[in-house]
């Protein structure tokens, strides 16, 4: 059985997630009828989408600033895309929400990586004893 090339294994999740964001942005109306909760849930979804995108980008790029700037660029292009979708509006506010989500994703990824590294070091130390 052949192995997936490393570059594909790293970038494929990023591309698939970006395509998912694009597909969701192509839906003309996402109103759930929940009133103010609809707005809150959609903004949280924005942040969560970009938190995951930024974490996936950090996994590939290995540096937080490039990951953040790529996520920011994709957020801006996504809002431009929404400007052309009937029933949707591209908004700079959403780019800010997406960027905040990306920052949270980067922090969570770095924190999680630190936890795994400490756990691995503890396991190794216990194994060495």
Task: Specify if 110 maps to a domain.
Answer: yes
Number of separate domains in the chain: 1
Domain that holds residue 102: 6-128
> Tens place of pLDDT for every residue, the chain, 129 residues?
578 899 999 999 999 999 999 999 998 877 778 888 888 998 999 999 999 999 999 999 999 999 999 999 999 999 999 999 998 888 999 999 999 999 999 999 988 877 776 776 777 777 776
Residue with tokens 């698939």, as numbered in its chain: 16
pLDDT at 129: 65
Residue 29 has, within 13 A of its CA and on its CB side, a CA count of: 4
Task: Specify if 70 maps to a domain.
Answer: yes
Task: Specify if 1 maps to a domain.
Answer: no
DSSP tag of 123: H
C-alpha to C-alpha distance for 50 and 17, rounded to whole angstroms? 9
Q: Is the dihedral of CA 44, 48, 53, 59 positive or negative?
A: positive
pTM summary value? 0.85
Contact status, residue 28 vs residue 37, Cβ threshold 8 Å: no
């Amino acid at each position: 059985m052949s192995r997936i090339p490393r570059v594909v294994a790293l970038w494929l999740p990023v591309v698939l997630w970006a395509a998912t964001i694009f597909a969701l942005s192509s839906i003309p109306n996402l109103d759930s009828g929940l009133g103010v909760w609809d707005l809150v849930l959609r903004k949280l979804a924005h942040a969560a989408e970009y938190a995951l995108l930024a974490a996936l980008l950090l996994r590939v790029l290995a540096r937080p600033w490039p990951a953040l700037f790529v996520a920011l660029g994709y957020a801006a292009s996504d809002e431009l895309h929404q400007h052309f979708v009937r029933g949707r509006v591209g908004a700079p506010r959403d780019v800010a929400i997406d960027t905040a989500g990306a920052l949270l994703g980067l922090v969570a990824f770095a924190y999680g990586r630190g936890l795994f590294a400490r756990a691995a070091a503890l396991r190794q130390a216990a194994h060495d004893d």
